[in-house]
Amino acid sequence: MPQAAPKPCTAPGCGVLVRDGGNRCSAHQREAWTRKATATKRVTGRKLQAMRAALFQSSPLCVQCEAAGRVVLATQRDHIKPLAEGGTDDSDNTQALCHACHEAKSKTESARARRRW
């Protein structure tokens, strides 16, 4: 069976040629993804539906838009401190956001998480 042509390791600053068809040399192998033992268990199902309903009942407008003087209906239940960063699923760690504000906040959190790795 023909082998793949050697290509450079994808680790930053490494120029070792990889000949086994993978992306990284033996010195820069990535760990297999596993859920952290400390990961917060997410609330799902009817309990989550009840929590969303209670949040939107008490705070029907987007918190960030309201702070900026805009009136926009909230559609997303957002964790102020993300669960991945040790936040909890309690009501004091949630806020009501519109889709646009939630997307912007999620992008910044995602970028911050990538920098940590």
Q: Which two tokens stand for residue 60?
A: 């029907």
Structural domain boundaries enclosing 94 = 45-116
Q: Report the pLDDT value the prediction gives residue 100, as an integer from 0 to 100.
A: 97
Task: Report pLDDT for 84.
Answer: 82
Residue 21's pLDDT is 82
Please count the structural domains in the chain. 1
Torsion over CA of 11, 13, 19 and 22, rounded to 10 degrees? 10
Band of residue 50 on the pLDDT scale cut at 50, 70, 90: very high
Per the domain annotation, does 91 fall within a domain?
Answer: yes
State the pLDDT at residue 68.
96
User: What CA–CA distance (Å, rounded) separates 75 from 11?
Assistant: 40
Mean pLDDT over all residues of the chain?
Answer: 89
Is pLDDT at 15 greater than 90 in this prediction? Answer: no
Give pTM, 2 decimals.
0.65
Asked whether residue 100 is domain-assigned, the answer is yes
Q: Is residue 58 assigned to a domain?
A: yes
